[in-house]
Structure 1
Amino acid sequence: MPPIYYSFFVPTLFVWLWSTGFIGAKYGLPYAEPFTLLLMRMLLTLLPLAVLALVMKSRWPGWRGAGHLVVTGLLVQGAYLGGVFYAIDQGMPSGVVSLIVGLQPLVTALAAVLILGEAVAGRQWLGLVMGLAGVALVLLEKLGDGVDGASVPPTTLVWAGLALIGISLGTVYQKRFGTGVDLISGTMIQYLAAAAFFALGAFTLETREIQWSLQFGLAMGWLVFGLSVSAILILMWLIRRGAASQVASLFYLVPPVTALEAFFLFDERLGPVAIAGGLVAVAGVALVVTGGPRPSKC
């Protein structure tokens, strides 16, 4: 049996932290353009990670290992975050972005089968489909509150699709090539790669102007310490211990949790359809997590 911190507490903490990324984006994007905001986020994140690397005497990978981490950083950080933030900034409701990115477990499971040769049992596929159905139910009310598919700019679909592909392939790539790397130093290399990606976008597509405010500062602080430091380190740790398709199934819980946060923060109320969808998503995740191979004990 896996220890309690693996089987319940750590995945629960990760889902909550990851869900707040959409909230942080909503608070921060009115004051800075997406790539500019994300570039600042990456640079600020490197400071506490550098301190952690010194204190914990992190081991640094060789050039080949660093190259794999650069690829993971461009996918998990650059493509995913850039896609999500730009989709929201250009007019796609955050709930719709969550729904599209919520397809990630299915894409990751398929990629894990094709690339890693992971076995995904019929019970797990059922859980993945249930999770997708649950996410759709949770977001049905938001889609029915006047979100017309024709009114969403086509470019936002491209950005959301980029985010979906980035996080899906990045999860599988990290599982295949990055599981033996020190978490702190590995994450730093990923953020350096993402910072270069965001700098390229900021200097070619944006004005790089920032409207400084208390709300922007608080949003940036949470995006740095709550998401870029805590959530990403937990994600890399989970990928190292579990099958890629099982870790990906946790993302099904993010939209329901985000909906709960929106209820408390923005008074967006949940109806019976959304509540039922949350229960279906939880049941789907349970099928995936309990139906596959046991995590390694490294």
Structure 2
Amino acid sequence: MTQGLPPLHRALACVVAAIWGVNFLAIHLSLAQFPPLFLVALRFALLAVPTLLFVPRPQVPTRWLVGYGLGFGVLQFTFLYTGMAAGMPSGLASLVLQASGPFTLVLGALLLGEGVGRRQWLGVALAAVGMLVVGVSRAGVAQLVPYVLVLLGALGWALGNLSSRLAAPPNPLHLTLWMSVVVPVPMLALSLALEGQEAIGRSLSTSFTAEAAPAWAGLAYTVLVGTVVGSGIWTWLLARHPAGVVGPFSMLVPVVGMATAGLVLHERPTLVEVAGGVVVVAGVLLGASGARGAGAAVRRRERRSRERGGLRPSTVRRVPRSGWALRGR
């Protein structure tokens, strides 16, 4: 899984996974002060202003930039933050959000006609079983609605992944940062419509107190460490190694997320939830390895076709190198 990754780069991938795992604790702290929809608008506004001033616009079609912002930014975080505010434990949220990997693969096959191998479908099936196990456990403790909301957030992330893939940016970090420009206005409109001026005003008027300091610390961590540092290192790694080699390290995110939530917030997942989480991780890892194998098979068939003077390379649909490797929070 990690063959060919130098020790330093492997350590950096683990650092990014740790950063993103802790990010769910940071979100939990911020939600204690701000309404969830307004918090999403605030988070991305803090990213959007310096991005507009200092980061060159990525050379991608506007429709895919907007699609990435709406899927990855608006849909994902609307449902994730709302689900966590409704009672979804932060550690468990870090696990359920990994469903974006299988969702990306299925949507890529259905909407983009991407090739999917048998091992990948088996990985999807395993991940689905794991999610079902976690969902049944959540239903047993009257927490099904927050679970479904976070699962919808994973679906939004998957839709954003498709737009990012179609955009094919020469500099993925620029696309990640410019995606933030799309988010604040629709999220502020949603917040005003659903949460109201009173709730927003109350959260802001009490935000400059000692009690609100953890919320601002969590927001600063999410913006500066989680997005700028974490995504920056991850993009640097992906520019130097195949995504199928780097991507599986994202499976450490729920491990760190659940461990951090257990230590700081004293969250204790049930044995059934832990078992379901193990099955989910196994399914995603199996699907990632299948993506690498399917991509290699397509490249071999294409090479043989060229040698026989058959199909031109442009007529063969490639399996994306990215498989279902994920980006961070």
Whether TM exceeds 0.5 here: the answer is: yes
Select 2:85's aligned residue among 72, 82, 89.
Answer: 89
Contact 1:135 1:252 in 2 (8 A): no
1:195 alignment counterpart: 184
Residues 55-70 of structure 1: matches in 2 within 5 Å? 58=56, 60-61=57-58, 65-70=61-66
Partners of 2:173 and 2:89 lie apart in 1 by 33
Which protein shows a greater Rg? 2
Query: In the TM superposition, what is the alpha-carbon distance from 1:121 to its structure 2 partner?
Result: 1.9
Give the 5 Å matches for 1:89-238: 89-94=85-90, 97-98=93-94, 100-134=96-130, 143=138, 147-149=141-143, 156=146, 159-160=149-150, 162-177=152-167, 179-206=168-195, 207=197, 208-209=200-201, 210=203, 211-212=206-207, 213-233=212-232
- Whole-Å Cα distance in 2 between the matches of residues 70 and 45 of structure 1? 16
Cα distance in 2 between the residues matched to 1:223 and 1:61: 23
Q: Could you tell me how far 1:40 is from its partner in structure 2?
A: 1.6
| 2:66 and 2:179 in contact (8 A); partners too | yes
Query: Is 73-82 or 99-108 further displaced after alignment?
Result: 99-108
Distance 1:158 1:141 in 2: 11
- Spell out, residue by residue over 1:150-192, the C-alpha distance to the aligned partner (whole angstroms, 9 max, x if none): xx55xx5774454232111111221122x22433432332111
Cross-structure match for 1:288: 287
Aligned length: 281
Aligned to 2:75: 79
Return the alpha-carbon distance in structure 2 between the equivalents of residues 9 and 19 of structure 1: 15
Is the 2:135–2:147 contact (alpha carbons within 8 Å) kept by the matching residues of 1?
no
CA distance in 2, matches of 1:276, 1:197: 38
Contact 1:253–1:278 at 8 Å: present in 2 too?
Answer: no
Q: Tell me, what secondary structure is at the counterpart of 1:202? A: helix
Shift of 1:198: 1.4
> If the length of structure 2 is used for normalisation, what is the TM-score?
0.69
Q: Which moved more, 1:276-285 or 1:222-231?
A: 276-285
Match of 1:43 among 45, 67, 78: 45
Tell me if the contact between 2:100 and 2:154 (Cα under 8 Å) persists in the aligned partners. yes
Q: 1:266 to 1:162 in 2, by over 3 A?
A: closer
Identity %: 24
Unaligned runs of 5+ in 2: 297-320, 323-329
Distance in 2 of aligned mates of 1:168 and 1:279: 21
Q: Give secondary structure in 1 for the equivalent of 2:114.
A: coil
CA separation of 1:121/1:100 partners in 2, compared to 1, >3 Å: closer, same or farther?
Answer: same
Cα gap change, 1:68/1:141 in structure 2, threshold over 3 Å: closer, same or farther? closer
CA-based RMSD: 3.8
Instruction: Give 1:72's aligned amino acid.
Output: Y
- Quote the Cα distance in structure 2 between the aligned partners of 1:124 and 1:5: 28
Structure 1 residue 221 displacement after superposition: 0.8
Contact 2:109 2:115 in 1 (8 A): yes
Comparing 167-176 with 119-128, which one deviates more in the overlay?
119-128
SS in 2 for 1:267: coil
Closer/same/farther in 2, CA of residues 235 and 75 from structure 1, 3 Å limit:
farther
Query: Residue 29 of structure 1: which of 23, 27, 31 is its match?
Result: 31
Question: Which whole-Å CA distance do the structure 1 matches of 2:9 and 2:109 have between them?
Answer: 23
The alpha-carbon distance between structure 1 residues 96 and 163, as it changes in their structure 2 partners (threshold 3 A), is: same
- Matched AA of 2:32: P
Q: State TM-score, norm by structure 1.
A: 0.75
Pair 1:184–1:290, CA change in 2 (3 A): closer
Say whether the 8 Å CA contact 1:131–1:281 is kept in structure 2: yes
Residue type of the partner of 1:43? A
Unaligned runs of 5+ in 1: none
- Please say which of residues 197-206 and 68-77 is displaced more in the overlay: 197-206
Is the 1:75–1:166 contact (alpha carbons within 8 Å) kept by the matching residues of 2? Answer: yes
User: Are the structure 2 counterparts of residues 188 and 279 from structure 1 closer, same or farther at C-alpha, using a change threshold of 3 Å?
Assistant: closer
Deviations 1:187-224 (A, max 9, x none): 33211101122121223223323232211111111111
**CA deviation after TM superposition for structure 1 residue 281, in Å:** 4.5
